[in-house]
Structure 1
Amino acid sequence: MKQEERIAMRSIKRLSNGISREMCAAFGSGMFSGAQGRTLHFILATHQKEDLFQKDIEEEFGLRPPTASALLKELEQRGLIRKEPVPYDARRKKIVATEEALQYKDCVLSGLEKLEQKLTAGIPDEEMQVFFTVTDKMLKNLAQ
Structure 2
Amino acid sequence: MGMPAAADAQPDFGRLIHALSHHLRRRSPVSEGGGELTHMQRHILFYILMESLNREIYQKDVEEEFHIRRSTATGMLQLMEKSGFITRESVPQDARLKKIVPTKKAGRFRTQVQANIARMEQKLADGIPPQDLDTCREVLLHMLGNLTQNERRTDNEQGGNDE
TM-score with structure 2 setting the length: 0.80
* Residue deviations 1:57-98 (CA, integer Å, cap 9, x gap): 111111111111111111101101000111122221000001
Instruction: Report runs of 4+ in structure 1 exceeding 3 Å deviation.
Output: 24-29
Q: Unaligned 5+ residue runs, structure 2?
A: 151-163
Secondary structure in 1 matching 2:89: strand
User: Aligned letter for 2:42?
Assistant: G
User: Aligned letter for 2:16?
Assistant: S
Secondary structure in 2 matching 1:137: helix
- Quote the RMSD (CA, aligned, Å): 1.9
Verify: 1:136 aligned to 2:141, yes or no.
yes
User: Aligned letter for 2:120?
Assistant: L
Verify: 1:49 aligned to 2:35, yes or no.
no
Q: Unaligned 5+ residue runs, structure 1?
A: none
1:28/1:102 Cα in 2 relative to 1: closer, same or farther (>3 Å)? closer
Secondary structure in 2 matching 1:82: strand
Secondary structure in 2 matching 1:79: coil
Give how far 1:133 is off. 1.3
Aligned counterpart, 2:24: 19
Secondary structure in 1 matching 2:145: helix
User: Aligned letter for 1:70?
Assistant: G
- Pair member with larger Rg: 2
Equivalent-residue separation in structure 1 for 2:59 and 2:29 (angstroms): 24
Alignment of 1:1-144 (within 5 A): 1-2=4-5, 3=7, 4-24=9-29, 27=32, 30-142=35-147, 143-144=149-150
Flag the structure with higher helix content.
1
Indicate if the aligned counterparts of 2:32 and 2:109 stay in contact, CA closer than 8 A.
no
Equivalent-residue separation in structure 1 for 2:100 and 2:60 (angstroms): 10
